[in-house]
Structure 1
Amino acid sequence: MALKKLLKSILNVNCIKIINAEFDHVSSSLYIRVEITKGQRSRCPVCGRKCNGYDSTTEYRSWRALDFGACRVYILSHVNLVQCPVHGIHTEQIPWAHHHSGFTREFEQQVAYLALHLNRTEVSKLMRINWRTVGMILSRTKDRLEPDSSIRFKNLRRIGIDETSYRKGHKYITVVIDHDTDQVIWVGKGTGKEVLSSFFALLTQEQRESIELTSADGARWIQSCIEEWLPNCERCIDGFHVVQWAIECMDELRKEVWREAKQKKRGQPKRGRGCPKKGEEAKAATKYGKSYKYALGKNPENLTEHQQSCLDEIKELYPKMFRGYQLKEGLRKVFQCRKD
């Protein structure tokens, strides 16, 4: 296979003609000079129609492509200005990159995919670009895939509202999801009634009236927003927060049992010197620490071997605490059951 044909297959770009390729040993970069085919020249980057030329240049413009192993790859080409009767003067459309982008389509697609699974700093390290560039690529990807974000607000029936923290410190965002599609439909910086009200203000009166159920935690500002904006909506408490509250109550019970056991041990006479007799150590009622807290809070299927042994010890030594654990697990299973 000829070298130019091989490079064209690797780049996976049609409507181009490869002129040459040069490798820079200093920067370990491969520069591929290409030329747009005649049928795809002088097209508007917005509507794609053929346009009259406005200005030409002899300078090469570069676009970053996906790396070839440890080698960075750049596509170089001349790009002229065209005058569209509808959209005005723009640089002509190129088949390997989006308008106003210095990266190929496949490069931006790779960055957007990685951003779904990694944080922005790790994506920038892996793709060897600035972390601010990752944000700009995501913005272009979002505008291209969803130019009108209001389509996410159609057919809303069951929504979920919650706030979550990001970075360090008390920095929060408010998130709204659609339970029917399992997709995030809106995110607002901050938390509180004013932030959530800005979401409801984006909806039409018909869309607000169509919402029947809203799941959220016990925050009063969420309840007040629902009463003000959603006349036909019923408030629901989501299972995650219900189980979380049960775990907090169970943890208070754990502390109470620990204090009782510690107080009981203080009233007992001190053991003499020497090794304890056989069976004496097993009767001690204050030998537990953080492992008990983790064993009581985790789901049974996620317990480690040590935490399972702690749970067996709780069952034997602290029946009251183990009963609280059983009640918590019973409540958790309620939300896992089907309607029948």
Structure 2
Amino acid sequence: MSGEHALFTAALGLTAPWQVRDLTFDAEVGRIDFQVGFAPGSRFACPSCGAADQPVHDTRQRTWQHLHFFEHRAYIHADVPRVRCEHCGRTSQVAVPWARPGSGFSQLLEAMVVALAQQMPVRAVARHVGLGDDAVWRTLHHYVDTARAAEDYSDVTAIGVDETAARRGHHYITLFHDLETGRLLFACPGRDQQTVGHFVADLRAHGGAPEQVTAACTDMSRAYIAGLGRHLPQAAITFDAFHVVQLANTAVDEVRRQEVKREPALKHTRWAWLQDPRQQKLGRITQLHHLSRRRLETARAWRLKEALRDFYRSQSGRKEAESLLTAWYRWARRSRLAPFKRLALTVRAHWDGILNAFDSRLTNGRVEGLNAHIQAAKARARGYRTTRNLITMAYLVGAKLSQLPAAPHTPTSGARAA
């Protein structure tokens, strides 16, 4: 083997009996082709039964696209051996060490695709590595599915449940998270109670025990409440503070929209009433200060909403929290504000789940954070063509999968391990 061939054999991460036998470079088309072969007289293990030291029966020509060499596209060509096993009698093609079976791309190229897709839209990844969008998605589906199959959920005891929009037209996926580790456990289309059943089946498939799930944090969706009661009856439900305050925000906005018809000063003030005052800029705080001093129904609604937010900020135990919630409930019922009178009844109907927050201290904050990452990825990609693509991306950015291929800049090529 020449020095040049030895250099590229090392660059491709090949080990005996594989080596680069020849290479051609076409500067005009920007392409380099490596002809890879095995040493004469080499013997291989049977792919079917594993019997070692089987002779080569024949070979088949195969080609794989590889990572670019500098700005040039690179391809690996090899006569792949088939062995006829003396033990099982089968004739089988040997797996090459630089690519997974059935793939037309090297493992290093696929590892690059996976690494880039966690940060870039798939279309941009496809352009960067010189593949089509569909090829990139097939690669992502394979590695995400394979990595998920190896995940262990045996220690899951507390889950968060939420939905996120898949695409326009009321299409959603439901997300189940491990609230202890902050990882996405499962995602599936829909937002009905059957999604909880699908999650429980997946939990069992990954070594988890549904009876060990003793806490669940969710919004006040009837479907999720029913699904948790049916499939995880031992899980104490905590209603997420974010969603409870969100209901109060909705009530405030309903009051404002009714009152703005007779109070022009309320025009263009929607976000002043809805945002957390601690996160508002000085100009909006000043506007809110002046408006809140007027005898406006919206100002009274805002004070009710902020009192509910303060209720969650308190570091009370459950007993003290129940006293605070009782006082808020009575205030809301006497408020003469129809949206808040209805909200008070909703709070009463979900009383225990709201107070459970002061025992479990569970929150879907991490869930909401992951939802934001998923929606940001979807926005960068300008949407995904299928729900499966969205779910795969959700796992890729939020499941903390430990078995994804290492990025190509680390010396962990499958070729070197073979």
Superposed pair shares fold, TM > 0.5? yes
Q: Give the aligned partner of residue 215 of structure 1.
A: 217
How far apart, CA to CA, are the structure 2 residues paired with 1:244 and 1:237? 12
Q: Which consecutive residues of structure 2, in runs of 5 or more, have no partner in the other structure?
A: 294-298, 316-356, 362-418
Deviations 1:250-298, CA, capped at 9 Å, x for gaps: 3234434533422xxxxxxxxxxxxxxxxxxxxxx35x52xx3345445
**More deviation in 228-237 or 242-251?**
242-251
Give the Cα–Cα distance (whole angstroms) in 2 for the partners of residues 109 and 96 of structure 1: 12
DSSP-derived class of the 1:79 partner: strand
Secondary structure of the 1:126 match is: helix
* 1:69 aligned residue: 70
Report Cα offsets for 1:216-245 as digits up to 9, x if no partner. Answer: 111112112222222321111123322322
Instruction: Determine the structure 1 residue equivalent to 2:21.
Output: 19
Find the counterpart in structure 1 of residue 270 from structure 2.
293
Structure 1 portions without partners, runs of 5+: 263-284
2:129 corresponds in structure 1 to 127
Aligned to 1:279: none
Instruction: Give the alignment partner of residue 34 of structure 2, picking from 32, 35, 38.
Output: 32
1:313 counterpart residue number? 287
Whether 2:76 is the aligned partner of 1:102: answer no
Structure-to-structure mapping, 1:119-158, within 5 angstroms: 119-148=121-150, 151-152=152-153, 154-158=154-158
Distance 1:294 1:38 in 2: 75
Q: 1:330 aligns with which of 288, 297, 310?
A: 310
Instruction: Report the AA paired with residue 181 of structure 1.
Output: T
Bigger RCO (CA 8 Å, 6+ sep):
2
Closer/same/farther in 2, CA of residues 111 and 181 from structure 1, 3 Å limit: same
SS in 1 for 2:169: coil
1:161 is matched with which residue? Answer: 161
Q: Which residue of 2 aligns with 1:190?
A: 190
TM-score by length of 1: 0.75
Residue 299 of structure 1 deviates from its aligned partner by 5.2
For 1:251, the equivalent position in structure 2 comes to: 253
Write the deviation string for residues 65-98 of structure 1: whole angstroms up to 9, x where unpaired.
1112332111111101234657954321212112
Matched-pair contact (CA < 8 Å) for 1:45–1:99: no
Distance 1:119 1:247, change over 3 A: farther
- Cα deviation code 1:189-219 (max 9, x no counterpart): 2231233323334555992221100111111
C-alpha distance in structure 2 between counterparts of 1:51 and 1:11, whole Å: 25
One-letter amino acid matched to 2:178: D
Over 3 Å counting, the alpha-carbon distance change for 1:22 and 1:334 in structure 2 is: farther
CA positional deviation for 1:2 = 4.9
- Which of these two proteins has the greater Rg computed from alpha carbons? 1
Maintained 8 Å contact 2:196/2:228? no
Asked if the contact 1:96/1:104 (under 8 Å) is kept, the reply is yes
RMSD: 3.6
* Separation of aligned partners in 2, 1:124 and 1:11: 22
Choose which of 212, 234, 237 in structure 2 pairs with 1:235.
237
Amino acid aligned to 2:209: Q
